[in-house]
Chain A
């Protein structure tokens, strides 16, 4: 099942790249860990655990020049369009993968749902996506397809920010485990300065929240490294 899922993910990325839209997207969520394997090659192992959700962040909808009918594009691979929740968040569904688009929430009170007419999709606006992910993105390769992903430092800090807000304990644990693993690998790779630089750009409230989370998890060593 994992191989089928991996193959499908690769096909999705290839299709988006061929359509000329992949460069406007940032792959976020658990699929980033697959990309980080290459980044941390020789430093440490990154587990292959990932979910069916494949989320793409659209940092700027206005930056998309080309109109690409994404649901039609991925129909060839067996994806169908579904809607989630009362607001009707669009999802491209396949038994192996569920693709969703996200946009950073622009200030409080902004709409939870944003239309992406150039992609013929809509996207859910999520908090913390902006600062934690857009500020620092890197281009990695999924097989031979170039994919934008958050820098592992941004990925880890984002996980530490959202973990306390989780109501599902299993997801909270998963976020914390992923964050500590990535921070540990960054430390081994001697890239903690990137984490410190990024953290310096965060608001005092966010910094406090991250430190508090690490305190609660008894990760004092990590606090010393990032503070």
Chain B
């Protein structure tokens, strides 16, 4: 019974974490910054998915280093958060299975 309580607490923690990672992913700037070289000149585009299509939004020929860094960081954090979100979801599945097993026992 006591272990069940601990597992329930851990499940609560993991569910909260899942919600928070989803929220953190939602807060990151949308899209991925792409630099296209056309006839030797650089042009920046923001690529993002809209339903099944990938759209390219033209950002201009020159972009501030700060904004480029913002999108670069967002890309890195998005990949990291997705991996961790996947880990949390695996934990949730594991704890739920363990809780069901305890109930069945």
A residues near B (Cβ < 8 Å) are 52, 75, 78, 80-82, 84, 93-95, 98, 168-171, 173
Contact = CB atoms under 8 A, between A and B. Distances in A.
B66 to A, nearest CB: 16
Contact of B2 (A52, A95, A98, A173): A173
Interface stretch (B3-11, B57-65, B96-104): B3-11
A82 B87 contact: no
A170 B17 contact: no
A82 B2 contact: no
Interface of B: 1-3, 5-6, 10, 13-14, 16-17, 20-21, 24, 77, 80-81, 84, 87-88, 91
Given A78-B81, A82-B20, 13 more contacts: A75-B77, A80-B21, A80-B81, A93-B16, A93-B17, A94-B84, A95-B14, A95-B87, A95-B91, A168-B5, A169-B2, A170-B5, A170-B6
Nearest to B73: A75
Contacts of A80: 20-21, 24, 81
Nearest to A170: B2
A4 to B, nearest CB: 9
27 contacts: A52-B10, A52-B13, A78-B81, A80-B20, A80-B21, A80-B24, A80-B81, A81-B20, A82-B16, A82-B17, A82-B20, A93-B16, A93-B17, A93-B21, A95-B14, A95-B17, A95-B88, A98-B17, A168-B2, A168-B5, A168-B6, A170-B2, A170-B3, A170-B5, A170-B6, A171-B6, A173-B2
B14 to A, nearest CB: 8
Given A169-B2, A170-B6, A95 B84 contact: yes
Contacts of B87: 95
Contacts of B84: 78, 94-95
Nearest to A171: B6
A118 B82 CA distance: 30
Nearest to A172: B2
Give the 10 A-B CB pairs with smallest separation, nearest first.
Answer: A170-B2, A95-B87, A82-B20, A80-B24, A169-B2, A93-B17, A95-B88, A78-B80, A78-B84, A170-B6
Nearest to B17: A93
A108 B37 CA distance: 67
B81 A98 contact: no
A95 B81 CA distance: 10
Contacts of B24: 80
Nearest to A4: B87
Contacts of A170: 2-3, 5-6
Contacts of A52: 10, 13
